[in-house]
Amino acid sequence: MRNPLRTTHFFYKLNTQYSSPLKWHITGDSLLKIISALFASSVLLFLGLMVYELVNGSWLSIQTFGLNFLIGTKWDPAISQVFGALPLILGTTVTSVIALLISVPISLGIGLALSEYMPKKFGFAISFLVELLAAVPSVIYGLWGIYVLIPFLRDHVYLYLRTFFGFIPIFSGPIYGGGFLTASIVLAIMVIPTISSILRDLFSAVPNSLREAMIALGATKWETVKAVVSYARSGVIGAVILGFGRAVGETMAVTMIIGNKFQVWPSSLFDAWYTMSAIIANELLEATYDLYVSALINIALVLLFVTLVINILSRLIVWRSIRLVRGIVKE
Amino acid sequence: MVVPKIKVENLNAWFGKKHVLKNINMEIKENTVTAIIGPSGCGKTTFLRCLNRMHEIIPGARVSGKVIFNGINIYDKGVDPVIIRKKIGMVFQKPNPFPMMSIYDNVAIGLKLNGVRDKKALDTAVRQSLELVNLWDEVKDDLNRSGANLSGGQQQRLCIARALAVEPEVLLMDEPCSALDPISTAKIEALIRRLTENYTIVIVTHNIQQAARISDYTAFFYLGELIEYGPTKQIFENPKHELTRKYIMGEFG
């Protein structure tokens, strides 16, 4: 057992021996501590201020429409001055869900390839490249979408889809090239780096003893990999939700591609739509009177709330899962 | 003469450039317990893992030589290691039940991997395997709960049950008691003796007394070489090699 008195004594002696320089060190240390604590807490302060400003700015809209804002389907700044966000909420949700349907299987493949199949050095290079995808500015994805993806999908994919499956309503109707399906595809590409790098970390944290136990039972590589995924499943769910949060908040590329058409439900997969973030980016500068501005800020508030909840939830799940996965190793 | 269950011929193993097993020749007899003893880093575990082709799953690991099991060299081209591992089961040093599976599924997983879907057959196999390791009475009411909540000794017996459920012919055990308390150790030692009726067991152990208690044959490894191999009684009472004598007397290791 350590004697607490003794440590005090030790410091006491140090203090008296080198009294002045040590004192300076201690003050310098605590000063740094206070300054960094201030910087760290400023993050919370900014978040608080942001929420305050958003609530403040949208107060007029909240007073005028109340909760009806969330279920209203009319957006008429010109004549009746009625604002409802339901079509935007639906647009954001549906494009994000489709983006996940596309990106989750691909990300699972990437995560497993990097952690289970590739040699370490090679895997490192690939995962670096995948993470680089996340650093590409969103406006570049938008441009790529407009100049490369839209012509390609319009001429080589959508046309055939309509020719062969046109009798199904979702594959009928005019083809613009842009639209909510195209936007979802771009979103999918944008969230793949996020999801796949978390999945790689998760799968790499799965202890080798699990793989060896499976292999020793006569499991094939594929069966072993399935066990790895099942072991990390709660983290996989967290990674997917985190990707959803990214997709929900994405603005620039979607605004450039989705077609920005305010409607509750599109007539087909090729139709244009609108999202919460896109309408703010498009209309805020043109909003000419207070209620209009307030309605747009109200959308921002809803968007912030949704993304915050999704992010907190997914982070908690991912952290808990990684801790769980590592914790079992120690036993 | 009895035909050996496993015959090892000129077995060499490497980790990268490190030569960890040097020219091992050995015959393991059916329905016996063979103990592998030796100081840390002498290649015991590597030897064990070479017997069911687990060595090669480590990146950079390499093997040469023959391991003849039931008349077939398991390192021949065209031999599927997956099938070999179903016939030669393994129990690891640290109990490693699958925490995401129930106790029932932990035992049934091997059979499910073999394509057994029949609920009744699975039920019977799970019960028999758990009874064999004397775990049935302790867990029969918790079959649907996670195996991660059991004690260390129970977990290890669960792992043995898991390995036995697929009815292997040989069971390899890598220091199965080193993480366990004396009571759990005694239970597993008694279990190993019982298993010799139907199984051939090769066990790596750090514990020399354990080797003396439970094994019929003992092999002493030192620096990647097989120094001495013979009936346990002879190895312990009348070792031929000076190194063996010193190790057993506890003069090094």
CA A300 to centroid of chain Cα atoms: 16
The structural domain count of chain B equals 1
CATH code for the domain in which residue B17 is found: 3.40.50.300
Residue B236 in any domain: the answer is yes
Q: How far is CA A18 from the centre of its chain?
A: 53
Find all residues with CB under 8 Å of B209, minimum gap 6, and list them.
Answer: none
Q: Which residues of chain B have pLDDT under 70?
A: 1-2, 253
Chain A residues inside the 8 Å CB shell of B90: 216
Q: Print the domain residue range for B75.
A: 6-100+168-248
| Per-residue pLDDT reduced to its tens digit, A289-321 | 999 999 999 999 999 998 998 888 888 888 887
Q: Which of B59, B90, B114 sits opposite A216 (nearest CB)?
A: B90
B114, B172 Cβ separation under 8 angstroms: no
Does residue B159 form part of some domain? no
Chain A nearest CA to B151, separation (Å): 11
pLDDT at A10 over 70: no
Distances (CA, A) of B167 to A288, B110, B146, B175: 79, 10, 23, 21
Min Cα distance A113 → chain B (Å) is 16
Structure-token match 């807490």, residue found: A41
Residues B206-227: tens digit of each pLDDT:
999 999 999 999 999 999 999 9
Work out the pLDDT band at A27, boundaries 50, 70, 90.
confident
Q: Which residues from A are below 8 Å from B when comparing CB atoms? A: 119-120, 207, 209-210, 212-213, 215-220, 223, 227, 230-231, 233, 328, 331
- The whole-number pLDDT of residue A86 equals 94
d(CA A296, CA A83): 9
pLDDT tens-digit profile of A112-125? 999 999 888 888 88
**CA diameter of chain A:** 91
Could you give the count of Cα atoms lying within 13 Å of B126 in the half-sphere of its Cβ?
Answer: 22
Q: How confident is the model at residue A235 (pLDDT cuts 50, 70, 90)?
A: confident
pLDDT at A7 over 60: no
Contacts B162 to A, Cβ<8 Å: 213, 217
Are A215 and B89 in contact (CB < 8 Å)?
A: no
Answer yes or no: is pLDDT of A6 > 60. Answer: no
Nearest by CB to B113, which of A219, A231, A328?
A219
Pairing of strands B61-69, B6-15: antiparallel
Assigned domain for B153 exists: no
Taking one residue from A and the other from B, the number of pairs with CB-CB distance under 8 angstroms is: 57
User: Is B154 inside any structural domain?
Assistant: no
pLDDT band at A21, cuts 50/70/90?
low
Q: Which residues of A touch B163 (CB under 8 A)?
A: 216-217
User: How is residue A180 written in tokens?
Assistant: 């909510």
What ranges in B88-207 are assigned the alpha helix state H? 103-113, 119-132, 136-139, 152-165, 182-195
ipTM value > 0.85: yes
Q: Nearest by CB to A209, which of B59, B92, B110?
A: B92
pLDDT at A170: 85
pLDDT of residue A175: 86
Read off the DSSP letter of residue B102. B
pLDDT at residue A281 tops 70? yes
* Residue A72: strand, helix, or coil: coil
Q: What pLDDT does A24 receive?
A: 56
Q: B131 lies in a domain? A: no
CA atoms in the 13 A half-sphere facing the CB of B104: 12
> Is residue A256 scored above 50 in pLDDT?
yes
The per-residue DSSP string of B26-71 comes to EEE-TT-EEEEE-STTSSHHHHHHHTTT-GGGSTTEEEEEEEEETT
Tell me the chain B residues in contact with residue A215 when contact means C-beta distances shorter than 8 Å: 54, 57, 85
First-residue to last-residue Cα distance in chain B: 35
Confidence of residue A330 (pLDDT cuts 50, 70, 90): very low
Mean pLDDT for all residues in chain A: 87
